[in-house]
Chains A and B, each alone.
Chain A
Amino acid sequence: MANEYDVLIIGAGPGGYVTAIRSAQLGLKTAIVEREHLGGICLNWGCIPTKALLRSAEIFDYMKHGKDYGLICENPSFDPAAVVKRSRAVSGRLNGGVGHLLKKNKVDVIWGEARLSAPGKISVEKASKQAMEPQHPVPKNVLGKGTYSAKHIIVATGARPRVLPGLEPDGKLIWTYFEAMVPPSMPKTLLVVGSGAIGIEFASFYNSMGSDVTVVEIVDQILPVEDAEISAIARKQLERHGLKIKTGAKVSKLDKSADSLTATIELSGGKTETLNVDRVISAVGVVGNIENLGLEELGIKTDRGCIVADGFGRTNVPGVYAIGDVSGPPMLAHKAEHEGVICVEKIAGLDPHPLQKNLIPGCTYCHPQVASVGLTQEAAKQAGHDIKVGRFPFLGNGKAIALGEDQGLIKTVFDAKTGQLLGAHMVGAEVTELIQGYVVAMTLETTEQDLMHTVFPHPTLSEMMHESVLDAYGRVIHM
Chain B
Amino acid sequence: MPTPILMPALSPTMEKGKLSKWLVKEGDEVRSGDVIAEIETDKATMEVEAVDEGLVGKIMVPEGTDDVPVNETIAVLLGDGEDASAIAETPPAAPVIAASAPPAQERPSAPAAGNGAAAQPLPAPAPTSPPQSAPATPAGERIFASPLARRIAAQNSIELSVISGSGPHGRIVKRDVEAAIAGGTAAAPRVEPTAPPAAPAPAISDEAVLKLFEEGSYEIVPHDSMRKVIAKRLTQAKSTIPHFYLSADCELDELLALRVKLNGNAPKGADGKPAYKISVNDFVIKALAVALQRVPDANVTWTEEGMLVHKTSDVGVAVAIPGGLITPVVREAHSKGLSVIANEMKDFAARARERKLLPHEYQGGTTAVSNLGMFGINNFSAVINPPHATILAVGAGQKRPVVLDDEISIRTIMTVTLSTDHRAVDGALGAELLGAFKNCIEEPAMMLV
Contacts and interface: CB of A to CB of B under 8 A. Distances in A.
Nearest to A447: B147
Interface residues of A, number: 11
A378 interface: no
Contacts of A310: none
A292 interface: no
Interface string B141-185: 000001111011001000000000010000001100000000000
A445 B151 CA distance: 10
B151 A447 contact: yes
A419 B151 contact: yes
A353 B166 CA distance: 9
A445 B147 contact: yes
Contacts of B155: 417-418
A445 B166 contact: no
Contacts of A420: 148, 174
Nearest to A417: B155
A430 to B, nearest CB: 27
A3 interface: no
Nearest to A419: B151
Contacts of B152: 418
A386 interface: no
B147 A450 contact: yes
B143 to A, nearest CB: 14
A449 interface: yes
Contacts of B174: 420, 445
Interface string B245-264: 00000000000000000000
A264 B174 CA distance: 51
Contacts of A353: 166
A351 to B, nearest CB: 9
A120 B44 CA distance: 77
Contacts of A447: 147-148, 151
B163 to A, nearest CB: 14
B72 to A, nearest CB: 37
Interface string A58-83: 00000000000000000000000000
Contacts of A419: 148, 151
A473 to B, nearest CB: 14
A417 B155 CA distance: 9
Given A445-B173, A445-B174, A418 B148 contact: yes
A387 to B, nearest CB: 15
Interface string A423-458: 000000000000000000000111101100000000
A22 to B, nearest CB: 17
A446 B149 CA distance: 9
Contacts of B147: 444-447, 449-450
A450 B151 CA distance: 12
Contacts of A450: 147
Contacts of A446: 146-148
A469 to B, nearest CB: 13
A336 to B, nearest CB: 22
Contacts of B166: 353
B31 to A, nearest CB: 49
B155 to A, nearest CB: 7
Given A420-B148, A447-B147, 15 more contacts: A353-B166, A418-B148, A418-B152, A418-B155, A419-B151, A420-B174, A444-B146, A445-B146, A445-B147, A445-B148, A445-B149, A445-B174, A446-B146, A446-B147, A449-B147
Interface of A: 353, 417-420, 444-447, 449-450
Interface of B: 146-149, 151-152, 155, 166, 173-174
15 contacts: A353-B166, A418-B148, A418-B151, A418-B155, A420-B148, A444-B147, A445-B146, A445-B147, A445-B148, A445-B149, A445-B173, A446-B146, A446-B147, A446-B148, A449-B147
Please provide the 6 A-B residue pairs with the shortest distance between their CB atoms, ordered closest to farther: A445-B146, A445-B148, A447-B147, A450-B147, A446-B147, A420-B148
